[in-house]
């Protein structure tokens, strides 16, 4: 892609190389029996290598690559979400439609840049048609619960995630050809905030934000993570159309939303009695365990940029 | 000519097996959990819960390729032998072992057929409930087959395998699978005690298989009243 400087693509790999070196030294010092935290850390870093590599490859393939990558992320997330919810045999065709029609159609709307239908297809048309199909089928057992879970599944896994590739089609004056950097900014700040919250929480965490939902989320971790991620966002302003101050403010907002996304995801997992969404990525649980914060942050980030920076 | 035919069949069989295992992985992201036993090249009888035609494909997709090639599923001849197409799919493409389930007008003894397969050195996948479970009960009572096999071929390991979610992926009567995450839990081998009688052993095997369910609270029957 034009306008993409090599350092931007290589920087994440440099950070990961540093992280792997640190983990390697720690493991070597721990000897034959490294503790569970260290094993988990190594697994997480290895999974990051895979994720960063996949994202870089997708970016090198341009818009189609990015759309395909996020369509796959939607597929994995949708599969995890539906697996955890209550479904009945009579839902079979609606569920097939979610995977076979709704998902490809939403990403086709991204590909054709059909913004009008892209924003209402799932929240309006699927919202009305899917319960109608379920009602026509005639099985009323736990009806509201089933249609609500189906709607949530496609909103979370398809609608919200599909806003990431649509960032490529925003027309920002003076930023032409570099739209993919908006995705890099979004992912680096939001995912960085997750990691920083985890680190600050491990180091200083005492007061829990919501003990009923997630025992690992503390005020110390949240504040430390948000402040440092905002500073990271401000530093990244060079790759964005924002000034450093704007970049810091946007980063703060999307990282706060990302935190709320993680909190909601934890509440759903707790309600369903599971620890992780799935088993896709070794050491990370499922796709939604990684993407929950991105899900909440992306549509808002998209709207902020669209209303304030595009023509 | 017949030699060419045999080679062609062997090739098609290997291709079918590889393709089905790949499809099962893509659709269900299946992950084996070896909690009581490890993958090995020992001769085994895998026995599992049964609610979907996809069950044995999922189970064999979890086995190492070499083991998968010599592991054959036991299927009902009254269903899979009914038409030429079904028989072709079951016997020629999936190398299933067809047995006659109903004792009336039986021409062959199912036990003898399964013992012969074991004596040829192959492993078996068997669904001791005898049919696909369409009830709200998590597991139907077992038929006697696994007891007879275990007592007559004690050197073959009998491994309980819990198949999770496959009945939601491909329910009875549907032919397109919904992608949902599946797991197969492999438990510790079980064998009849020297003085254990048939019913006691079958009840114990039933119990051991149920114990492997990683999310018993998510069963439809128990959740409805929670």
pLDDT of residue A10: 78
Q: How confident is the model at residue B224 (pLDDT cuts 50, 70, 90)?
A: very low
Distance in angstroms (rounded) separating the CA atoms of residues B168 and A82: 10
Q: What is the pLDDT of residues B100-151, one digit of tens each?
A: 887 776 778 888 999 999 999 999 999 999 888 888 888 999 999 999 999 9
Contact: B29, A279; criterion CB under 8 Å = yes
Q: How confident is the model at residue A283 (pLDDT cuts 50, 70, 90)?
A: low
The H or E element spanning position A196 is: helix A180-204
Contact: B223, A86; criterion CB under 8 Å = yes
Residues of B in contact with A274 (CB under 8 A): 215
Contact: B179, A278; criterion CB under 8 Å = no
Candidates A89, A272, A278; nearest CB to B171: A89
Query: Of the ranges A70-79, A165-174, A269-278, B217-226, which one carries the lowest mean pLDDT score?
Result: B217-226
- Nearest-Cα distance to chain B for A265, in Å, is 18
Contact: A86, B215; criterion CB under 8 Å = no
Count Cβ neighbours within 10 Å for each residue of A256-275 and write b for 16 or more, e otherwise. bbbbebbbbbbebbeeeebe
Residues of B in contact with A83 (CB under 8 A): 165, 180-181
- Nearest-Cα distance to chain B for A79, in Å, is 5
pLDDT at A154 over 50: yes
Contact: B180, A99; criterion CB under 8 Å = no
Taking residue B189's Cβ as centre, other Cβ atoms within 10 Å add up to 17
Mean pLDDT for the stretch of residues B81-96: 85
Q: How confident is the model at residue A134 (pLDDT cuts 50, 70, 90)?
A: very high
Residues of B in contact with A286 (CB under 8 A): 181
Cβ atoms of B153 and B118 within 8 Å: the answer is: yes
pLDDT of residue B40: 86
- A96 in contact with B at a CB cutoff of 8 Å? yes
pLDDT of residue B95: 84
| Stretch 72-91 of chain A: residues touching chain B, C-beta under 8 Å | 75-76, 78-80, 82-83, 86-89
Contact: A280, B179; criterion CB under 8 Å = no
Q: What is the pLDDT of residues A291-300, one digit of tens each?
A: 899 999 999 9
pLDDT at B55 over 50: yes
- 3-state SS assignment for residue B126: strand
The DSSP output letter for A214 is E
B12: which 2 tokens? 């098609």
Mean of pLDDT over chain A: 89
Mean pLDDT for the stretch of residues A272-286: 76
Please name the residue of chain B whose CA is at the shortest distance from the CA of residue A145. B224
Residues of A in contact with B220 (CB under 8 A): 86, 88
Residues of A in contact with B215 (CB under 8 A): 273-274
Instruction: Look at strands A208-210 and A214-218 and give their pairing.
Output: antiparallel
Helical axes A62-84 vs A287-309, angle rounded to 10°: 130
- A241 in contact with B at a CB cutoff of 8 Å? no
**Of A237, A262, A254, residue with least CA distance to A304:** A254
pLDDT at A117 over 60: yes
Candidates B31, B178, B181; nearest CB to A92: B178
Cβ atoms of A143 and A134 within 8 Å: the answer is: yes
The H or E element spanning position A7 is: helix A6-30
Distance in angstroms (rounded) separating the CA atoms of residues B216 and A119: 39
Length of chain A as a residue count: 311
Phi–psi pair at A181, nearest 5 degrees: -70, -25
Environment class of B225 (CB within 10 Å of its CB; exposed 0-12, middle 13-18, buried 19+): exposed
Phi–psi pair at B204, nearest 5 degrees: -70, -40
Please name the residue of chain A whose CA is at the shortest distance from the CA of residue B178. A96
Pick the residue of B29, B183, B215 with the most A CBs within 10 A to test the interface with A by mutation.
B29
Cβ atoms of A180 and A59 within 8 Å: the answer is: yes
Cβ atoms of A150 and A98 within 8 Å: the answer is: yes
Neighbouring-strand partners of residue B99: B76
Distance in angstroms (rounded) separating the CA atoms of residues A151 and A25: 47
Mean of pLDDT over chain B: 87
Please name the residue of chain A whose CA is at the shortest distance from the CA of residue B29. A280
Mean pLDDT for the stretch of residues B171-192: 92
Instruction: Look at strands B71-76 and B123-126 and give their pairing.
Output: parallel
A216 vs A131, higher pLDDT: A131
- Nearest-Cα distance to chain B for A135, in Å, is 20
Candidates B165, B176, B217; nearest CB to A83: B165
Q: Output the CA–CA distances (angstroms, integers) from residue B167 to A180, B28, B50, in the order listed.
A: 42, 12, 8
């Amino acid at each position: 892609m034009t306008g993409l400087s090599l350092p931007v693509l290589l920087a994440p790999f440099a950070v990961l190389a540093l992280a792997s070196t640190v983990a390697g030294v720690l493991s070597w010092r721990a000897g034959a029996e490294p503790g569970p935290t260290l094993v988990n850390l190594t697994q997480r870093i290895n999974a990051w290598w895979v994720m960063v590599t996949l994202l870089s490859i997708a970016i090198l393939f341009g818009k189609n690559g990015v759309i395909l990558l996020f369509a796959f992320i939607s597929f994995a997330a949708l599969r995890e979400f539906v697996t955890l919810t209550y479904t009945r045999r009579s839902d079979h065709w609606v569920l097939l439609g979610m995977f076979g029609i709704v998902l490809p159609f939403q990403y086709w709307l991204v590909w054709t840049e059909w913004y009008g239908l892209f924003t209402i297809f799932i929240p309006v048309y699927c919202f009305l048609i899917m319960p109608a199909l379920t009602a026509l089928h005639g099985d009323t057992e736990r009806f509201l619960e089933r249609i609500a879970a189906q709607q949530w599944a496609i909103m979370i896994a398809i609608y919200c995630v599909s806003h990431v590739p649509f960032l490529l089609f925003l027309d920002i004056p003076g930023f032409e050809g570099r739209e993919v950097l908006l995705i890099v900014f979004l992912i680096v700040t939001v995912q960085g905030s997750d990691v920083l919250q985890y680190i600050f929480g491990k180091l200083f965490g005492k007061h829990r934000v919501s003990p009923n939902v997630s025992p690992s989320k503390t005020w110390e971790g949240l504040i430390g993570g948000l402040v440092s991620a905002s500073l990271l966002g401000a530093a990244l302003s060079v790759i964005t159309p924002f000034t450093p101050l704007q970049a810091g403010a946007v980063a703060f907002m999307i990282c706060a939303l990302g935190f709320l996304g993680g909190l909601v995801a934890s509440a759903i997992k707790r309600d369903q009695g599971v620890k992780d969404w799935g088993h896709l990525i070794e050491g990370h649980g499922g796709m939604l365990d990684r993407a929950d914060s991105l899900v909440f942050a992306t549509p808002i980030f998209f709207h902020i940029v669209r209303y304030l920076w595009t023509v | 000519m017949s030699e060419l035919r045999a080679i062609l069949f062997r090739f098609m069989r290997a291709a079918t097996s590889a393709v089905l295992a790949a499809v099962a992985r893509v659709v269900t992201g299946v992950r084996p959990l070896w909690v009581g036993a490890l993958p090995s090249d020992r001769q085994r009888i895998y026995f599992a819960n049964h609610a979907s035609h996809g069950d044995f494909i999922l189970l064999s997709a979890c086995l190492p390729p070499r083991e998968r090639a010599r592991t054959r599923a036991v299927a009902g001849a009254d269903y899979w032998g009914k038409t030429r197409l079904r028989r072709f799919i079951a016997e020629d493409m999936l190398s299933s072992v067809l047995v006659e389930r109903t004792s009336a007008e039986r021409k062959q003894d199912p036990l003898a057929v399964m013992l012969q397969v074991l004596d040829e050195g192959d492993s078996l996948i068997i669904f001791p409930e005898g049919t696909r479970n369409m009830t709200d009960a998590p597991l139907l009572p077992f038929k006697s087959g696994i007891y007879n096999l275990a007592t007559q071929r004690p050197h073959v390991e009998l491994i309980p395998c819990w198949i999770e979610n496959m009945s939601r992926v491909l329910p009875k009567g549907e032919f397109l699978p919904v992608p949902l995450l599946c797991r197969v839990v492999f438990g510790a081998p079980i064998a009849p005690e020297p003085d254990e009688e048939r019913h006691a052993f079958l009840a114990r095997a039933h119990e051991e298989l149920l114990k492997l369910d990683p999310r018993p609270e998510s069963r439809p029957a128990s959740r409805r009243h929670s």
